[in-house]
Amino acid sequence: MSSFLSGRFSGIEAYVPGEQPQDRSYVKLNTNESPYPPSPGVLAAINSAEVARLNLYPDPDTRSAALAISGALGLGPENIILGNGSDELLAFAFQAFCDAKTPAVYADITYGFYSVYARINCVESRVLPLDDTLRLVPSDYYGAGGTVFIANPNSPTGRAVPLAGIEAIIRGNPGNVVVVDEAYAAFGAESAVPLIAKYDNLIVVHTMSKSKNLAGARVGYAMARSELIADLNTMKFSFNPYNMNRLSLLAAEAAINDSDYYEECVAKIVSSRERAVLALYGRMFDVLPSRANFLFAKPSFGSGRDYYLGLKERGVLVRHLPQERIKDYVRITIGTDEQMDALLAATDDMMGKNR
Ligand SMILES: *Cc1c(COP(=O)(O)O)cnc(C)c1O
């Protein structure tokens, strides 16, 4: 830290992304990326003709991609804003809808960025604990008294709140915005997108990083009634009007047009997930029911941290989070069946078994 950093950020702790070590090649199951490549249409769209246009700014209104994505979800282009990853849109939502009188409200165990965005925007957080089984209790959020952020399915638990619970939270907070972060919804949760027409306080956020195999392109989008989208656009145009680069815009639009390919990838991941759950049960792990592309699992032997370290030594990366309530668990991204077999082989090696 330099002596020049503004005093309002003293002691600030930045978000820590999952490690991306370069020292050797790992079976990488720690950042919830897809193990599968982008669709053929995406590979074709990122072409040299567009590269040759990189001297020109991209469309600040992202019209073509916005029309394609909103249309596919039954919305209008006035109901969507694209972001440089959904993280950027979440940041805009904290800026736009939280202040000294309006804290950010979110769970104690959830996406780590929410607390970081609250801190960097100098707004208070109201943290509501998940129950003993790491489940979100919707009634805890009625009259939340601030802007609500819910990851559904939640990370790192993988648990999902049924749509009726989400709708009750939206109805229970008529004077505040409710942001539903559906980064993992494609892997088995009910989406709140159909509720957008019904409620003026709902924002649904999606990303192409997980279920559209595009983590490296940085594409997310937020959907809401046009008034809320206008507020998010005020944040964007006051910060970086050209937040979406030309190549990522083409990739996003092409991905929407290749939905069959992505549905197949999601189906493969869900099937690998269910296979991995059974394999871990067979090794006496405690595994939370997952609606996402990862498992939150507690080994039957040793601590979460020891399991993480033992796997890393054996060339398999998973995510261990240090928070007290969940320190016995690791979060395991679902890869291909071959990658999951590598995880299980490393696990058996640690357990001193030869199956
Ligand atoms: C991965 C993730 C995001 C962010 O994804 P981007 O890559 O920035 O689009 C947002 N919310 C949750 C809960 C996530 O796990």
* Centre of ligand 1 from the C-alpha of residue 181, in Å: 8
For residue 95 and ligand 1, the question of a CB distance below 6 A is answered with no
Best residue among 111, 211, 291, 333 to mutate for probing ligand 1's pocket (most ligand atoms within 8 Å of CB) is 111
Atom in ligand 1 nearest the alpha carbon of residue 220: 9
For residue 111 and ligand 1, the question of a CB distance below 6 A is answered with yes
Q: Return the pLDDT at 219.
A: 98
| Global model pTM greater than 0.85 | yes
For residue 190 and ligand 1, the question of a CB distance below 6 A is answered with no
* Centre of ligand 1 from the C-alpha of residue 241, in Å: 21
* Centre of ligand 1 from the C-alpha of residue 215, in Å: 9
Q: Which residue owns the Cα nearest ligand 1 atom 14?
A: 183
* Centre of ligand 1 from the C-alpha of residue 92, in Å: 14
For residue 183 and ligand 1, the question of a CB distance below 6 A is answered with yes
Longest distance between any two alpha carbons in the chain, whole Å: 60
* Centre of ligand 1 from the C-alpha of residue 87, in Å: 6
Q: What are the b/e assignments for 302-324, b being 16+ CB within 10 Å?
A: eebeebbebbbebebbbbbbeee
Q: Return the pLDDT at 241.
A: 98
For residue 189 and ligand 1, the question of a CB distance below 6 A is answered with no
In tens digits, what is the pLDDT along the chain, a chain of 355 residues?
899 999 999 889 999 888 888 888 999 999 999 999 999 999 999 988 899 999 999 999 999 999 999 999 999 999 999 999 999 999 999 999 999 999 999 999 999 999 999 999 999 999 999 999 999 999 999 999 999 999 999 999 999 999 999 999 999 999 999 999 999 999 999 999 999 999 999 999 999 999 999 999 999 999 999 999 999 999 999 999 999 999 999 999 999 999 999 999 999 999 999 999 999 999 999 999 999 999 999 999 989 999 999 999 999 999 999 999 999 999 999 999 999 999 999 999 999 864 4
Atom in ligand 1 nearest the alpha carbon of residue 215: 7
Q: Return the pLDDT at 150.
A: 98
Neighbours of 259 (CB within 10 A): 12
Q: Return the pLDDT at 21.
A: 86
* Centre of ligand 1 from the C-alpha of residue 157, in Å: 14
Q: Return the pLDDT at 353.
A: 64
